[in-house]
């Protein structure tokens, strides 16, 4: 069975065909965890898709995140940032990752939360683009600023207070995208001051189970549907996705969107906020 919302993905051939299209804006949305030792900005500066700018989630974010990094900014700040990058409300926005699928879905969700639904992720990422011999450049474009109107949809995000209240109500399924050992609390968290474990009552679906890590693309619709059904994200109730810092949680969200299950939100603070909060319960073991 095909995806219900296939337009949220594009392939590398489509992007190359639209490099000169004035209605399209392409962004390298790459972000790397500190433990990798990689520098997304430096990698972008060395080589990227012609015409693409780097969308840095550590820059386009709440300027005073406590304690989680790169939390969503205000609508005013988001509009100013993307407008300065040459994006108007009329543009089709395409986001890609360095290696495949990691941070691009986070950028995709940011645009949708701020009212811009004409946004898609390039499957396969820059790795696939290069492997296919498509053009690359080190030239950084300087687009003219555009006006961008944004409204922040707070129903698309969850706060720590809402997640705490949900432990008692059970109204929403909290779904964690982290690896099973991190969810169980058997693996230490990399960020200082963040305890291991998971949110009580939450379920675990490691994002690697719905993504083909070798080619950087989502698995087929039937596989996605079966994976989400297995953990209870069958469309019957709202899902609040979470992960380490709100990045890979959006991979789960995009996966649900692809199969037409749009009743999901993002716990933006995710485990970095929950695990460092002195008053939250850190559950251990399997779900």
Residue-wise pLDDT tens digits, 262-286:
999 999 999 999 999 999 999 999 8
For residue 221, give the CATH number of its domain: 3.40.250.10
Give pLDDT, residue 190. 86
* Residue 139 counted as domain residue: yes
CA-based max dimension of the chain = 53
* Residue 187 counted as domain residue: yes
Could you tell me which residues come within 8 angstroms of residue 58 by beta carbon, excluding any fewer than 6 positions away? Answer: 31, 69, 70
Tell me, yes or no, whether 143 and 165 share the same domain: no
Tell me, yes or no, whether 48 and 120 share the same domain: yes
What's the Rg (C-alpha) of the chain? Answer: 18
Per-residue pLDDT of 104-155, as tens digits, reads 999 999 999 999 999 999 999 999 999 999 999 999 999 999 999 999 999 9
* Residue 287 counted as domain residue: no
Tell me, yes or no, whether 148 and 162 share the same domain: no
- Of the three residues 122, 152, 182, the one that is the final residue of a domain is 152
Distance CA 196, CA 183 (A): 8
Could you tell me which residues come within 8 angstroms of residue 161 by beta carbon, excluding any fewer than 6 positions away? Answer: none
Tell me, yes or no, whether 13 and 132 share the same domain: yes
Tell me, yes or no, whether 52 and 170 share the same domain: no
Tell me, yes or no, whether 75 and 35 share the same domain: yes
Mean of the per-residue pLDDT values of the chain:
96
Tell me, yes or no, whether 98 and 183 share the same domain: no
Tell me, yes or no, whether 145 and 159 share the same domain: no
Say whether pLDDT at 67 is over 80: no
187 vs 105, residue with greater confidence: 105
Helix axes 249-258, 221-230, angle to 10 degrees: 120
- Summarize the confidence of residues 178-190 as an average pLDDT: 94
Per-residue pLDDT of 199-256, as tens digits, reads 999 999 999 999 999 899 999 999 999 999 999 999 999 999 999 999 999 999 999 9
Least confident stretch, 15-29, 41-55, 149-163, 181-195: 181-195
* Residue 283 counted as domain residue: no
Give pLDDT, residue 117. 98
Give pLDDT, residue 287. 65
DSSP one-letter string for 256-271? HHHTT---EEEESSHH
What residues make up the domain containing 209?
A: 155-276
35 vs 55, residue with greater confidence: 55
- Summarize the confidence of residues 35-59 as an average pLDDT: 96
Q: Which residue has the tokens 């460092």?
A: 276
Tell me, yes or no, whether 71 and 133 share the same domain: yes
Give pLDDT, residue 123. 97
Give pLDDT, residue 1. 62
- Summarize the confidence of residues 257-261 as an average pLDDT: 98
Tell me, yes or no, whether 161 and 134 share the same domain: no
Could you tell me which residues come within 8 angstroms of residue 220 by beta carbon, excluding any fewer than 6 positions away? Answer: 1
56, 81 Cβ separation under 8 angstroms: no
Tell me, yes or no, whether 148 and 159 share the same domain: no
Tell me, yes or no, whether 137 and 240 share the same domain: no
Cα-based angle 245, 264, 237 (whole degrees, multiple of 5):
130
Counting the structural domains of the chain, the total is 2
Confidence of residue 33 (pLDDT cuts 50, 70, 90): confident
* Residue 88 counted as domain residue: yes
Q: Which residues are catalytic?
A: 243
């Amino acid at each position: 069975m095909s995806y219900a919302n296939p337009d949220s993905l594009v392939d590398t051939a489509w992007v190359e065909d639209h490099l000169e299209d004035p209605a399209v804006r392409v962004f390298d949305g790459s972000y790397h965890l500190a433990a990798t030792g990689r520098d997304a900005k430096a990698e972008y500066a060395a080589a990227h898709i012609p015409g693409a700018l780097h969308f840095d989630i550590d820059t386009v974010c709440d300027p005073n995140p406590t304690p989680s990094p790169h939390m969503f900014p205000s609508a005013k700040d988001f509009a100013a940032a993307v407008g300065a990058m040459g994006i108007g409300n009329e543009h089709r926005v395409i986001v890609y990752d360095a290696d495949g699928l990691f941070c691009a879905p986070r950028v995709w969700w940011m645009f949708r939360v701020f009212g811009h639904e004409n946004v898609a992720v390039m499957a396969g990422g820059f790795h696939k683009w290069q492997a296919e011999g498509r053009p690359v450049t080190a030239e950084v474009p300087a687009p003219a600023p555009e006006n961008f109107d944004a409204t922040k949809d707070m129903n698309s995000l969850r706060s720590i207070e809402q997640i705490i209240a949900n432990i008692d109500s059970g109204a929403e399924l909290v779904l964690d995208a982290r690896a099973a050992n991190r969810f169980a609390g058997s693996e230490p968290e990399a960020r200082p001051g963040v305890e291991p474990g998971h949110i009580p009552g939450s379920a675990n679906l490691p994002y690697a189970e719905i993504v083909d890590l070798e080619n950087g693309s989502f698995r087929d619709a039937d596989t996605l549907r079966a994976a989400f059904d297995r953990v209870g994200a069958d469309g019957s109730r709202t899902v609040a996705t979470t992960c380490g810092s709100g990045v890979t949680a959006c991979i789960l969200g995009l996966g649900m969107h692809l199969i037409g299950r749009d009743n999901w939100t993002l716990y933006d603070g995710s485990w970095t906020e929950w695990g460092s909060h002195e008053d939250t319960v850190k559950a251990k073991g399997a779900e």
